[in-house]
């Protein structure tokens, strides 16, 4: 049986629903015992510039010998450091990938080994997040280039291999790290011997650590599972609605090019076109028809269609509304699961979904207009050059459109299409200026009209206009650079309450629960939300500088 792309979309949606449903049911069921994590190791490899050549090759050989000696399936990771540090390979059981990354390491880092402190902290944090047991270890390979400051520390035993290259190599500092962390200090030729501790550890993990009676008591009793809580049930209902919306939208979102071309032709007047098979199922047609009727009755369809067109989104208003309904349902389900209260999760999820969809369209519109403003001087420069070559204004615009620099080419193509059906070219360009909210294009159209009335060299007029545009663009960028600190402060102030609220919700839900489980708390939450929106609007007005 062949599965179509839409079929794969439906299967993915059903799989997502099943996964979230499983999580929701697991919240109300008895948690199973977590299995003991295996030991792990992280290799810290110095790649500062002083190790270039034979020393770096020897360092790689020692690291590869250590990886080769590790037991199969033992988790291991790689962090490289010099002036700073970076995680080259997260902790993984794929030793082949780890060896390949070690072979690819070159001494192209900074001039010091001072990034070892951050690398040690990151390695210890990685092992802690894995809940790795005590036998886990680190392997540090370095020449301690210009390494100064306080003694190095590590909560995990760190085995050390060093190279002495220059007089500013502080080898004693990393030797102290090995002794202070209960690690070992060996020569490069004994790198493989450092991995000998792990086979005994892996074997010890297979021995029983508790009596049979204890294990039987800890295991959950069969048939004694508890029913899922009410929030989980409500979340499943909302997820079911989300899946219905996704399945209904599957054929509608297929992006059929034939239907798109028909719609483009219909913009410029009615004409006969062959019937196009939409391929929509009954549920899709019903949902689309009902949504379209609601939009028409509320007179919201023209405005939404215009916004979608400005954003460059090839979606009908009814399709976009159905997508928004699915997003709202999904957010309501997730918030209901996280908060545990449908009274908060449903309205907040619906409001957040609606606001997110509207914000997405607004951002797309603003980015498209900004891209148009950035392309306009180059487009007009091309037109001015074509005019100097003897082209008419219409021919010059048509030549510029053929460059296909979106979105400017698409907007000017629209103006030329309107001019071909009888609209004056300057009027059509004024329409483009209104759509893109471009003062620069309005001034350009005004200059074209004045040139038509009084005569003159239109190419020279456009050249002066282009120079003015570029000066304004330079001033705009300069003002944005000067106001960057204020904008960053506003972003931090906006994100701070959201991040703190989310952190408290995940780490200390009992402390935050009165805020959404009591009437007074819910009232305070809505008041805080209203004040937050007012603050966002106020800061937006303050940091927005018009040029």
List pLDDT tens digits, range 16-37.
Answer: 555 555 455 445 444 433 445 6
Q: What does the pLDDT look like over 312-352, one tens digit per residue?
A: 887 888 888 888 888 888 888 888 877 777 777 788 888 88
Strands (E), 143-254: 158-162
544 vs 144: which has the higher pLDDT: 144
Q: Are 67 and 76 in contact (CB under 8 A)?
A: yes
Rounded to an integer, what is the distance from CA 95 to the centroid of its chain? 29
Judged against a pLDDT cut of 80, whether residue 519 lies above it is answered with yes
Highest mean predicted confidence (pLDDT) among 196-210, 273-287, 507-521: 507-521
Dihedral of CA 477/481/486/487: which sign?
positive
Question: Which residues share a beta bridge with 13?
Answer: none
pLDDT of 214 reads 37
Percent of the chain with pLDDT over 70: 76
Q: What does the pLDDT look like over 38-96, one tens digit per residue?
A: 789 999 999 888 888 888 889 999 999 999 999 888 899 999 998 888 999 999 989 99
Residue 174, Cβ density class (10 Å: 0-12 exposed, 13-18 middle, ≥19 buried): buried
Judged against a pLDDT cut of 90, whether residue 503 lies above it is answered with no
Judged against a pLDDT cut of 70, whether residue 525 lies above it is answered with yes
Judged against a pLDDT cut of 60, whether residue 253 lies above it is answered with no
CATH 1.20.81 region(s) of the chain? Answer: 366-481
pLDDT of 238 reads 57
pLDDT of 241 reads 58
> Could you give the CA distance from residue 104 to residue 137 in angstroms, rounded to a whole number?
23
Q: What does the pLDDT look like over 424-476, one tens digit per residue?
A: 888 888 888 888 888 888 888 888 888 888 877 888 888 888 888 888 888 88
3-state secondary structure (DSSP) of residue 288: helix
Judged against a pLDDT cut of 70, whether residue 271 lies above it is answered with no
Q: Are 155 and 137 in contact (CB under 8 A)?
A: no
Q: What does the pLDDT look like over 166-199, one tens digit per residue?
A: 777 888 888 889 888 889 998 888 888 888 888 6
CATH number for the domain whose boundaries are 41-200: 3.40.50.410
pLDDT of 250 reads 52
- Give residue 120's pLDDT band: very low, low, confident or very high (50, 70, 90): very high
Question: Which residues share a beta bridge with 139?
Answer: 43, 159
Supply φ then ψ for residue 159, to 5 degrees.
-85, 140
Q: Shortest CA distance to 417 belongs to which of 542, 532, 269, 315?
A: 269
pLDDT of 343 reads 79
- Give residue 203's pLDDT band: very low, low, confident or very high (50, 70, 90): very low
Q: Are 248 and 287 in contact (CB under 8 A)?
A: yes
pTM of the shown model: 0.48
Residue 366 tokens read as: 């603003």
Judged against a pLDDT cut of 80, whether residue 211 lies above it is answered with no
Options 3.40.50, 1.25.40, 1.20.81, 1.10.10; CATH for 366-481 is 1.20.81
Q: Whole-number mean pLDDT of the chain? A: 78
pLDDT of 246 reads 54
340 vs 152: which has the higher pLDDT: 152
> Could you give the CA distance from residue 380 to residue 470 in angstroms, rounded to a whole number?
12
pLDDT of 261 reads 59
Judged against a pLDDT cut of 70, whether residue 228 lies above it is answered with no
Supply φ then ψ for residue 335, to 5 degrees.
-65, -35
Residue 13 tokens read as: 């949606």
Find the radius of gyration of the CA atoms of the chain.
Answer: 33
> Could you give the CA distance from residue 414 to residue 395 in angstroms, rounded to a whole number?
14
CATH 3.40.50.410 region(s) of the chain? Answer: 41-200
> Could you give the CA distance from residue 437 to residue 442 in angstroms, rounded to a whole number?
9
3-state secondary structure (DSSP) of residue 182: coil
Judged against a pLDDT cut of 70, whether residue 283 lies above it is answered with no
């Amino acid at each position: 049986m062949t599965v179509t792309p839409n079929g794969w979309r439906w299967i993915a949606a059903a799989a997502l629903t099943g996964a979230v449903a499983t999580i929701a049911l697991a919240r109300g069921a008895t948690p199973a015992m977590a299995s003991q994590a295996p030991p792990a190791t992280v290799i810290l490899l110095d790649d500062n510039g002083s190790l270039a050549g034979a020393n770096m090759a020897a360092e790689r050989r020692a690291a590869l010998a250590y990886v080769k000696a590790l037991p199969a399936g033992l988790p291991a990771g790689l962090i490289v450091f010099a002036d700073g540090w970076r995680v080259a390979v997260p902790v993984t059981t794929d030793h082949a990938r780890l060896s390949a990354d070690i072979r690819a390491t070159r001494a192209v880092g900074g001039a010091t080994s001072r990034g070892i402190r951050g690398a040690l902290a990151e390695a210890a944090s990685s092992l802690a997040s894995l809940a790795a047991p005590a036998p886990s270890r680190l392997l540090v390979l370095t020449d301690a280039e210009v390494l100064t400051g306080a003694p190095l520390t590590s909560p995990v035993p760190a085995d050390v291999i060093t190279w002495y290259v220059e007089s500013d190599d502080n080898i004693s500092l990393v030797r102290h790290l090995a002794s202070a962390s209960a690690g070992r200090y060996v020569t490069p030729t004994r790198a493989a011997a450092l991995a000998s501790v792990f086979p005994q550890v892996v074997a010890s993990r297979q021995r029983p650590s508790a009596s049979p009676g204890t294990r039987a008591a800890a295991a959950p009793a069969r048939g004694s599972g508890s029913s899922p809580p009410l929030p989980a049930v409500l979340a499943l209902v909302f997820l079911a609605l989300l899946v219905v919306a996704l399945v209904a939208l599957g054929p509608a979102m297929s992006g059929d090019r034939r239907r798109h071309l028909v719609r483009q032709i219909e913009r410029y007047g009615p004409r006969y076109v062959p019937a196009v098979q939409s391929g929509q199922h009954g549920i899709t047609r019903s949902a689309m028809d009902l949504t379209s009727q609601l939009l028409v009755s509320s007179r919201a369809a023209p405005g939404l269609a215009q916004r979608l067109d400005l954003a460059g989104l090839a979606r009908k208003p009814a399709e976009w509304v159905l997508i928004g309904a699915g997003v709202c349902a999904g957010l309501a389900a997730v918030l209901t699961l996280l908060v545990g209260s449908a009274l908060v999760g449903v309205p907040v999820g619906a409001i957040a979904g609606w606001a997110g969809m509207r914000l997405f369209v607004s951002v797309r519109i603003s980015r498209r207009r900004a891209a148009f403003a950035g392309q306009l001087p180059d487009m007009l420069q091309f037109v001015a050059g074509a005019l100097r070559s003897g082209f008419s204004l219409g021919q010059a615009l048509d030549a510029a459109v053929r460059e296909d620099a979106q979105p400017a080419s698409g907007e000017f193509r629209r103006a030329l299409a309107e001019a071909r059906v009888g609209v004056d070219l300057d009027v059509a360009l004024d329409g483009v200026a209104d759509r893109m909210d471009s003062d620069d294009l309005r001034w350009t159209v005004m200059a074209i009209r004045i040139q038509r009335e009084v005569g003159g060299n239109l190419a020279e007029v456009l050249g002066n206009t282009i120079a003015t545009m570029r000066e304004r663009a330079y001033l705009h960028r300069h003002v944005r650079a000067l106001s960057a600190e204020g904008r960053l402060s506003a972003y931090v102030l906006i994100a701070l309450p959201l991040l703190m609220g989310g952190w408290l919700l995940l780490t200390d839900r009992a402390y935050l629960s009165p805020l959404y489980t009591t009437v007074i708390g819910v009232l305070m939450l809505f008041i805080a939300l209203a004040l937050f929106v007012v603050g966002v609007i106020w800061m937006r007005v303050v940091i927005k500088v018009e040029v």
